[in-house]
Amino acid sequence: MSKNDEQITTDVLVLGGGLAGCFAAIKAAESGARVVLFEKGHIRRSGNGATGLHRIPLIHPDHNMDFGEFAKLNVKFAAGICDEDVSYEFARDTLDRILDLESYGIKVRNDDGSFTFKPAPDICPGTPVIWAPGPTVWHDMKPILAKKVESFPEVTVFNRTAAVGLLNDGGRTGGDMAGAVGLETRTGKVLVCRAKAVILTTGGSYRLGRHKDTLYAPTRFIECGCPTNCGEGIVMAYRAGADLVNMEFAKYTTIWKDFSHWGVGPAMGLLRPMDGFGKPFMPEPGEEISLSGIGYRRTMNLGYDTLGPDYYDASSLSGYPENKGDMQRFLWALENESTSPGYFLWMKEREEDFRKGPVEFEWHPPYIHNNQAGIHMNPDAKASMEGLYCAGDLTGGSWRHSSGGAFVFGARAGTNAARYAKEAPFKEIDPEQVQAERDRIFGATAVKPEQGYSWIELEDKARQIASEYGPPYTNDPKLERGIHHLERIRRKYLPALYAENPREIMRVSEVKAIFDAVEIYLRSALFRKESRAPMASLLRKTEYPNRDDANWLKHTLIRRLQGRMTLSTREVKRLEKAVNG
Amino acid sequence: MNRVQYRGGIHINHAKCIGCGTCYEVCPSDIFEFDSDNNLITVAYPEECWYCGACLYDCPVEGVLTMDLPLACL
């Protein structure tokens, strides 16, 4: 440790102040804990929910289905790779968290008190989500949540502070949580926070696969998720000894053609996808394949007679083409979605208008986002190490659906971490572990730029390798080759990463995490000897073309043991009997 | 290395900007710089913009900030 490091002590340390982190901080404070929150941006507008969202899962027997029924469907549509108990508990809390949002001042109901239930075929059949009750009502959800967080005197928020490493008891990998190290991204100051419990809510990774553009383009951070989220929390947990699962099951989504934002999400709920001849493309009757599987099959020209263009068509919506009925609700959903200003510019420039005709879309490269891949989490939002909790898009082993997962498990993480912190003692921070974290990121400041490599070059290369060699369509020789290239680049060029200012030190931390995330992604895909198509994800291995439940209806388990990445499997959990209500 | 010029990004109308620093405060990608001595805000990292619109929503003055997409997206 350096004497210039700021030393902080608290009960519960929340790393990441997005939707999940805000709920975690609120519930921990309500449970009586002192809370410190590190946020790389500013909690007012950070994370995927920065400027809104278009839907929130709501499962309830009074409205759409029993929790047990949802849990069974969730597991089926996850192609079995999902802990059913987490699915059940997720469903159970969805209404309460929506009522929390309402109590914080966010409009969730129509004026007549009803909710607007809509389909989400990327989740399950039926109508498992609610949409916004107005055109702009969810734009300010994040600022309202941030204000609620700031209203607690026992919560201290450190904005512009990136978490860079977890600290274990006595510095031992796998040891109980002792706290974490943070980096002030504008000043380069290091913060060492001692905490009884740590909650990881740093989001998924939207910097895993690479687009058709390189990162040298001005589209560098145009992603379908907040670009500050690059898997650092997942990798921090792994390095500290926590269990990761299913990192081969990256996620795919539809995006605006050439403009890699969300916004096409609402279309996936309601609109027909079709090809340039107007023919809808959906599974053949009896065919078990996800929408992502269809999309990639088309892209790879396997079994389809056209390579696009692909469109979403709104003409079957009630109210079309006027601003009424389902058409109006759809347009409100588009407008409420985070990052919406950009795509209204895109639509205007291209003269694409859902009210006038089909709108062109394409597919985003692989990313990690609230599905099977991530830190293994149990229904109590607990990770595999004592004192470590997690919530939101970085959790894995189940399927928790966008904002709902953040709200439900953010709240559980906060409540349970606070309860744990009441009883647990502080653990011992090892100054050598702190120094190792500092060296890991500050080492780059000693490299002369004219002899070094920028973070952009190194990130671009890692993500190129992920896209070129990784899922969805791959095989063992290809994955082994990709791992070989990644290791070669890491060995020779990553030590030459330079950083000239605090912002670049933040990028060093990110790029090192990206390298680790790509390695875990490729090794997990290599380990799994089958093909499987969970909804929103896909793994197709040439030499193992079929789903193999006899051997592979399991989580892939990734752990750091004795300093080495070790892969094995872990049972998927099933509820013992059908549970209702 | 040749410097390639790209169009697109967040533009600040300095005639209307009051220098409150809200955009600098909230940007999730931290693309702005704030010279508080001169009350001047600039877009220092246009290539790292997420185009989320947070700055547009939170800027208290109409017409200060506008967004253009890069040509690659249009």
- Give the pLDDT of residue A126: 85
Q: Give the separation between CA A521 and CA A107, rounded to whole angstroms.
A: 39
- Give the pLDDT of residue A375: 98
Which of A77-86, A258-267, B6-15 is predicted least confidently? A258-267
Quick one: average pLDDT of A334-348?
91
Quick one: average pLDDT of A252-281?
82
For A80-119, the pLDDT digits (tens) are 999 999 999 999 999 999 999 999 999 999 999 999 999 8
Q: CA of A186: which chain B residue's CA is closest?
A: B30
For A385-407, the pLDDT digits (tens) are 999 999 999 999 988 888 999 99
Interface predicted TM-score of the whole assembly (ipTM), two decimals: 0.96
Q: Give the separation between CA A321 and CA A245, rounded to whole angstroms.
A: 45
DSSP code at position A429: P
Pick the CATH number of B12-63 from 3.90.870.10, 3.30.70.20, 3.20.20.80, 3.40.50.300: 3.30.70.20
For A148-167, the pLDDT digits (tens) are 999 999 999 999 999 999 99
Neighbouring residues of A344: CB distance < 8 A, sequence distance ≥ 6: A335
Q: Which residue in the set A51, A221, A350 is minimally distant from B53, CB to CB?
A: A51
Whether residue A345 is predicted with pLDDT greater than 90 in this model: the reply is yes
Quick one: average pLDDT of A363-391?
95
Could you please state the CATH topology (level 3) that the domain comprising A433-548 is classified under. Answer: Methane Monooxygenase Hydroxylase; Chain G, domain 1 (1.20.58)
- Give the pLDDT of residue A298: 55
DSSP code at position A205: B
- Give the pLDDT of residue A2: 65
For A463-474, the pLDDT digits (tens) are 999 999 999 889
Whether residue A581 is predicted with pLDDT greater than 80 in this model: the reply is no
Whether residue A532 is predicted with pLDDT greater than 70 in this model: the reply is yes
Q: Give the separation between CA A271 and CA A316, rounded to whole angstroms.
A: 8
Quick one: average pLDDT of A490-514?
97
Burial class (CB in 10 A: 0-12, 13-18, 19+), A263: buried
| Interchain pair B50, A41: CB under 8 A | no
- Give the pLDDT of residue A301: 46
Q: CA of A342: which chain B residue's CA is closest?
A: B51
| Better-predicted residue by pLDDT, A368 or A370 | A368
- Give the pLDDT of residue A310: 86
Nearest-CA distance B50 → chain A (Å): 5
Which amino acid type is present at position A198? V
Quick one: average pLDDT of A35-47?
98
For A158-198, the pLDDT digits (tens) are 999 999 999 999 999 999 999 999 999 999 999 999 999 99
pLDDT band at A269 (very low <50, low <70, confident <90, very high): low
Q: Which residue in the set A46, A143, A261 is minimally distant from B51, CB to CB?
A: A261
Q: CA of B72: which chain A residue's CA is closest?
A: A258
The answer to whether A19 and A143 have CB atoms below 8 angstroms apart is: no
Whether residue A580 is predicted with pLDDT greater than 50 in this model: the reply is no
Quick one: average pLDDT of A123-150?
93
| Interchain pair A341, B9: CB under 8 A | no
- Give the pLDDT of residue A303: 47
Q: Does B20 touch chain A (CB under 8 A)?
A: no
pLDDT band at A578 (very low <50, low <70, confident <90, very high): very low
- Domain borders along chain B are 12-63
Q: CA of B68: which chain A residue's CA is closest?
A: A345
Q: How far apart are the first and last CA of chain B?
A: 27
- Give the angle subtended at the CA of A224 by the CAs of A223 and A228, to the nearest 5°: 55
Mean pLDDT, chain A, rounded, equals 92
Give percent of chain A with pLDDT exceeding 90: 78
What are residue A213's phi and psi, to 5 degrees? -80, 155
Nearest C-alpha neighbor of A43 from the set B58, B67, B1:
B58
Give percent of chain A with pLDDT exceeding 70: 94
Q: Does B36 touch chain A (CB under 8 A)?
A: no
Which amino acid type is present at position A160? R
- Helices and strands (DSSP H and E) totals, chain A: 15, 21
Q: Does B24 touch chain A (CB under 8 A)?
A: no
Q: Does B28 touch chain A (CB under 8 A)?
A: yes
Whether residue A204 is predicted with pLDDT greater than 90 in this model: the reply is yes
The answer to whether A336 and A135 have CB atoms below 8 angstroms apart is: yes
Q: Which residues in chain B touch residue A186, judged by CB atoms under 8 angstroms apart?
A: 30
b/e sequence A81-111, b meaning 16+ C-beta within 10 Å: bbbbbbbbbbbbbbbebbebbeeeebebeee
Whether residue A135 is predicted with pLDDT greater than 60 in this model: the reply is yes
Q: Give the separation between CA B74 and CA A167, rounded to whole angstroms.
A: 45
Nearest-CA distance B15 → chain A (Å): 23
- Give the pLDDT of residue A218: 82
pLDDT band at A282 (very low <50, low <70, confident <90, very high): low
